[in-house]
Structure formats: C-alpha cells, structure tokens
Amino acid sequence: MPKEGHYINRSSWLRASILGANDGIVSTASLLVGVLAAGMDRSGVLLTGLAGLTAGAFSMAAGEYVSVSAQSDTEAADLARELIALEEDPEYELYELSEGLRARGVSSGLALQVAREMTEHDALDAHAREELGLTEMTGADPLEAAIASALAFALGGVLPLAGAVITPNGIGMPVIAAITMLALALLGALGAWLGGAPKGPGVVRVLFWGGLAMAVTFVVGLLFGVAT
C-alpha cells in the first residue's frame, strides 16, 4: 500500500516559508510606502527597499536559526533527562508509560503489556513520543528553517520592490500597494492549500495585517516626512 501523506509532515518548512514570505512582502512594501509618503526621491526609495530586503532576509535566517536551535537544545536536554531516568529507575518509567496509555483509553492489563513491548523495542523513543510528544515529524531543523525563511523573505520582498522599480514617479505607492495585496492574497491561499486548510480565512488574515502595516507606515511617513 502507498504511504499515506499528512499535511503535518510539511509543518516544519511550511511555517518558516510562509512566515518568511509574508514578512518579506509586508515589511518591504510597508518600508517603501513609508518613505514614499515621507517624500523621499526615487533613488532613495529603491536603495531603502533593497537594503530592507537584504537585511530582512539575513535577519529572518538568523532569527529562525537561533530560535529553532534553542528548541532543538531543549528537546535534546529533555531526551537526556529521560535517558537517565530510564537507566536509574526503569520500573517507575515502565509504570509511567503504562499509566499514560491507560489515560488514553487502553485497559490496565493491556496498557502494561503494550508498555513492556514498547520499552523492549525502543524505550527512549517510546517515552519521547508518549511523554514529551517528540517524533521525527516534530523534530526541529535549524538550518532548514533558516534557509527556507531567508529565501521566502527574499522572494516575497522582491515583489513590492519590483513595483517600485517599474513604475514612474507619482504612481509608485498605489502600484506597490496593489502588488502587495495581490501577493498577500496568493500567499494566504497557497499556505492554506499546502496546509489543507480553508483558503478564505488564510487570505483574509494576511490581507488584514498586511494592509494595516502599510497604512500605519504611510501615516508615519506623512507625520515625519522630509519633503514639504
């Protein structure tokens, strides 16, 4: 039989990719809208957008790597503690495992039998799954998250920046806003589709927060504008 696919298998890279792309689109577009509202000249706007995109991609990569590494370190520390407990008091750990199975609906006698068989097969894996909720699917990969997030940020940020590049002076802001909202709508729908979720709520979420971010930075640009 073919192996059944599950959406949760994509969660590790999907979260980082969607977060990176959304941040790239929203932060770059908001930055461009803000400096345009402030009256910055075209060359300054493009330089600001490029700098923001570059810095943002590296920042996302570093942030994902550090945060996911911390998660991996925590998981490793818990596994090390569990291994010590298995060596020092295997009977209690067996009882703890059987009680966990019983709490999930397995009868007492069968729970103890299953716990023994799981312990004989791979005691640490059994306790990692039942007590800590750790599996291969939930394991964190810092480098994978960092690369996915940085690439997604750069790809997302290119879209509003391209709008600033191809449009003449005077109409850059509405073009950037339109490109950004379209990109966010597509991202929300794509993320929902990849995750097996309804597309409508995903699209609404990204459009609301992206539109709000651009609106706020537009107001900030007007209030602290450099042009009269």
pLDDT, tens digit, for every residue of 49-74?
A: 999 999 999 998 998 899 888 888 88
Q: Which two tokens stand for residue 207?
A: 């459009």
Q: Which of 82, 103, 102 is nearest to 93 (CA)?
A: 82
Task: Report CA torsion sign: 203, 206, 212, 215.
Answer: negative
Average pLDDT, the chain: 82
96 with 131: CB under 8 angstroms? yes
What's the pLDDT at 59?
Answer: 92
Share of the chain above pLDDT 70, in %: 89
Q: What is the mean pLDDT of residues 163-176?
A: 85
Q: What is the mean pLDDT of residues 141-149?
A: 83
5 with 196: CB under 8 angstroms? no
Q: Which of 73, 61, 53, 72 is nearest to 19 (CA)?
A: 61
Q: What is the mean pLDDT of residues 83-87?
A: 81
**Residue 175 pLDDT greater than 50, yes or no:** yes
Q: What is the mean pLDDT of residues 33-56?
A: 91
- CA torsion angle 129 70 147 34 (round to 10): 130
**Residue 215 pLDDT greater than 50, yes or no:** yes
**Residue 226 pLDDT greater than 60, yes or no:** no
> Which region among 3-12, 186-195, 202-211, 214-223 has the lowest average model confidence (pLDDT)?
3-12
What pTM was computed for the model?
0.72
